[in-house]
Amino acid sequence: MMPRAPYELPEDKQRKIRKAIRLEWITIFFLVTIGVVMYLAMGQSQAMKAAWIEDVLSLIPPIVFLISIRYRSRPPDERFPFGLRRAPLLAFLASSAAVTVLGLYILGDSVIKLASAHHPSIGMMEIFGWRMWAGWVMIAALVYSMVPPLILGRMKLPLSRELHEKTLHADAAMNKADWMTGGAAIIGIVGIGFGWWWADGVAAGLIALDVIYDGATHVRDAIFTLLDQRPTQVESHKPDEAVEARLLKALRSLDWVEDAAVRVREEGQLYSGEAFVVSRDGPPAPRQLADASRRLCETDWRAHAFVVQPVDTTPSREEPFSPDSCRVHRCGLPSGCRRSKLRERKDHEDRLDEEALHRPVERYLQRRDADGRGAAQDDR
């Protein structure tokens, strides 16, 4: 087994990664303090509980990021010839699925509390000898929970774009939107203060919907990327056509290349895949192909380990493949026939063989020739 060449981030990106790691540690620190403060202030309010769970859940992305980033940069080896570049995505998929399930749990809990007309009780709290309604303390805790994530989220968003880190982006987006769950919980508690016991359950339900939305979006994005979808931009989720165009341009600018096509996938933050080139004069030398591969990697800091394959023509779409077509190819029949067509022909040949037992040899050969020509015409 031949492992792929290890990848090293460019110097400026490494600095940014270190900054992202630092920001994630700061995020964890603040989320833990927020979690503790909210837990201490938390009374019977369902919305506050939902906001607290949301806060604890938003610890997952930074932790996943910090853990998986350690594994990701391990060089490819005999066991993992393609490296572990996708480790963060995989971890992120698992944690997003867990977040979605918890969101569903909070939603169900809130709906049950609403349906059973549960009146949340919030009494007195005493802090440094000052007695007040505990709702005010809860609101203060929620306001605290809104500010640091908002700032950290805004700081992490541009980094995630520059580093092409989708897990970091999801984390930053969640932080940035965190103020809304805090706001919803505050509205719920103020609602309780006004004697609207249902305000709390409604706010909790809204928070749950937000958690489910976040979780489901991240599950979807992680699945799409793990299924090797066409590389997309971090923020807009639109195909990254600029990089594709640059890759094609790099190939076409080679003087021996007449035409080229690329097939690209994302491996974590890297872009990798295959390139197909049509040579102007005769088959290209291995040296030329290696040169083409190197040029592809120079087009973008994310491009890595492209395999360049010489082809006769560059079809935009290849014929469907089945192991059958491989066999037929070996037998000298044109490749790319559909399976049904192949079976038809095979049946026909079998029938011919049977007929051959009863008919003169000449007739058999005649028919077989005619059939062969017909098939050849079909294929053309």
Partner 1 sequence: MDLSRRPLCCAAAWLYVGWMLAAGVGCDRFPRDPEGTLDRIQGGVMRVGVAEHPPWVVRDNRDDSPRGVEPESIRDLAKELDSHIEWVWTGESEALDALVRYELDLVLGGLTADSPWKSHVALTRPYHTASIIVAVHPSSTAVTTVEATRIAVRRASRSETLVKDHGGEPVPLATLLAADAQEGLPIATEAWEARALGYVATGIKLGETSYVMAAPPGENAWLLHLERFLRRNRPQPGDTDRGDPP
Which residue's entry shows tokens 């990254």?
Answer: 240
Among 25, 71, 196, 321, binds partner 1 (CB under 8 A): 196
Among 78, 115, 123, 377, binds partner 1 (CB under 8 A): 123
How many Å apart are CA 229 and CA 370, to the nearest integer? 46
Among 13, 44, 73, 375, binds partner 1 (CB under 8 A): 44
In the bound state with partner 1, the residue whose beta carbon lies nearer, of 128 and 194, is 194
In the bound state with partner 1, the residue whose beta carbon lies nearer, of 83 and 182, is 182
In the bound state with partner 1, the residue whose beta carbon lies nearer, of 26 and 187, is 187
Identify residues 83-122 at the interface with partner 1 (CB under 8 A): 118-122
**Nearest by Cα to 165 from 234, 229, 105:** 234
Site string for partner 1, 124-153 (x = CB under 8 A): x-x----x-x-x------------------
Q: For residue 130, give the 3-state DSSP assignment.
A: strand
Least distance in angstroms from the C-beta of 173 to partner 1: 7
Alpha-carbon torsion angle 345, 350, 356, 359, nearest 10 = -70
Q: What is the token pair recorded at 107?
A: 């939603």
CB contact set of 210 (below 8 Å; sequence gap of 6+): 54, 103, 177, 180, 181, 184
CB 262 within 8 A of CB 273: yes
Judged by CB under 8 A, the number of residues near partner 1 is 31
Identify residues 209-228 at the interface with partner 1 (CB under 8 A): 209-210, 213
**Nearest by Cα to 87 from 109, 111, 68:** 68
Among 2, 11, 78, 194, binds partner 1 (CB under 8 A): 194
| C-alpha separations of 279 from 85, 104, 255 in Å | 32, 56, 9
Site string for partner 1, 339-368 (x = CB under 8 A): ------------------------------
In the bound state with partner 1, the residue whose beta carbon lies nearer, of 126 and 355, is 126
Which one of the spans 181-189, 229-237, 329-337, 370-378 is the region binding partner 1 (CB under 8 A)? Answer: 181-189
**Nearest by Cα to 234 from 173, 152, 296:** 173
How many Å apart are CA 351 and CA 329, to the nearest integer? 22
Least distance in angstroms from the C-beta of 29 to partner 1: 23
Least distance in angstroms from the C-beta of 101 to partner 1: 18
Least distance in angstroms from the C-beta of 120 to partner 1: 6
Q: What is the token pair recorded at 143?
A: 């306001």
Residue 68 bridge partners (DSSP): none
In the bound state with partner 1, the residue whose beta carbon lies nearer, of 122 and 297, is 122
Site string for partner 1, 161-180 (x = CB under 8 A): ------------x--xx-xx
| C-alpha separations of 327 from 93, 124, 380 in Å | 39, 81, 20
In the bound state with partner 1, the residue whose beta carbon lies nearer, of 176 and 302, is 176
- 10 Å Cβ neighbour count for 21? 16
Least distance in angstroms from the C-beta of 191 to partner 1: 8
Least distance in angstroms from the C-beta of 266 to partner 1: 23
Residue 334 bridge partners (DSSP): none
Given the DSSP bridges, would you call strands 303-311 and 270-279 parallel, antiparallel or unpaired? parallel
Least distance in angstroms from the C-beta of 63 to partner 1: 23
CB contact set of 72 (below 8 Å; sequence gap of 6+): 84, 85, 87, 88, 268
| Residues lying near partner 1 in the complex (CB under 8 A) | 44, 118-124, 126, 131, 133, 135, 173, 176-177, 179-180, 183, 186-187, 190-197, 209-210, 213
